[in-house]
């Protein structure tokens, strides 16, 4: 139902279903969420505008701060238990802990950031979020905002 008219939104009902899990898995593999074959990234974290294989427009993505946040959570859930296990088993010095865990944390963070961003973009694509929604309007075009001039 449309919030403004009270009628069923036929454009949203006519959209094809996109599997969020498949799109996130393809994104995690740094591949296009539509076809799974084209590259998603042009650099380390720069998302391509269009898939070179199927032509899917990916320029609408707005991953923003979600990938770093999810990366911090994932790395923290991996590193902290390992630190506790190693400390209880071996009782290493503070310097040894720093020498082990700081580089490992950095490497794991850099290794997971790109795939997690790909999964976030895949999820946005699958759920028709932001510009992936064909009926999306930019905030400036929204009819409920007053024209302040």
Q: Tens digits of per-residue pLDDT, 83-110?
A: 999 999 999 999 999 999 999 999 999 9
56 against 141, higher pLDDT? 56
Structure confidence at residue 130 as a pLDDT band (50, 70, 90) = confident
Whole-angstrom distance, CA of residue 130 vs CA of residue 91:
50
Residue with tokens 């010095």: 93
Residue of 35 and 7 predicted with greater confidence: 35
Tens of pLDDT, residues 60-86: 899 999 999 999 999 999 999 999 999
Q: How far is CA 89 from CA 51, 67, 69, 85, in A?
A: 49, 33, 30, 6
The model carries a pTM of: 0.81
């Amino acid at each position: 139902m449309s919030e403004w008219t009270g009628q069923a939104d036929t454009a949203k009902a006519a959209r094809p279903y996109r599997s969020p899990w498949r799109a996130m898995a393809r994104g995690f593999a740094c591949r296009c969420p539509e076809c799974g074959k084209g590259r998603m990234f042009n650099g380390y974290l720069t998302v391509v505008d269009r898939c070179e294989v199927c032509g899917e427009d990916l320029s609408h993505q707005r991953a923003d701060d979600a990938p770093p946040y999810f990366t911090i959570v994932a790395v923290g859930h991996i590193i902290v238990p390992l630190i506790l296990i190693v400390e209880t088993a071996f009782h290493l010095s503070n310097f040894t802990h720093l020498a082990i865990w700081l580089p490992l944390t950095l490497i794991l963070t850099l290794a997971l950031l790109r795939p997690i961003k790909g999964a976030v973009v895949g999820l946005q694509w699958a759920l028709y979020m932001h510009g992936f929604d064909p009926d999306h309007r930019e905030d400036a075009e929204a009819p409920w905002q007053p024209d302040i001039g």
